[in-house]
Amino acid sequence: MKQKVYITKYAFSSGILECEMDVDLETKSCYGKPDGFAFATGFYGNDFHLTKEDAINDFEKRKEKKIISLEKQIVKMKRLSFGNR
């Protein structure tokens, strides 16, 4: 059944995408051609949401996880040293 969904899979590069897709609640999946996509594709699990609020909450979780990951990378980079400098 076609329904409005909010796609968060590409939120860092494209923002939260809002589009009409065929949704299967049993498999927690949706399929269709979002605007800007060259062809139809599927999204599964937490890559899409049925409400804007859920999509925003998922984005905030993804953002916090990414910030923590980047902070760890910064610490590793600062520890790097080559030679006796």
Whole-angstrom Cα distance, residue 27 to residue 9? 17
The pTM score is 0.83
So what's the pLDDT on residue 84? 59
So what's the pLDDT on residue 40? 94
- Give residue-wise pLDDT tens across range 36-69: 899 999 999 999 999 999 999 999 999 999 999 9
CA neighbours closer than 13 Å in the CB half-sphere of residue 47: 13
Question: Quick one: how many helices (H) and strands (E) in the chain?
Answer: 2, 5
- Choose between 81 and 7: higher pLDDT: 7
Residue partners of 5: CB distance under 8 A and separation at least 6: 18, 19, 20, 21, 23, 30, 43, 48, 49, 50
Residue partners of 39: CB distance under 8 A and separation at least 6: 33
Average pLDDT of the residues in 67-84? 90
So what's the pLDDT on residue 58? 97
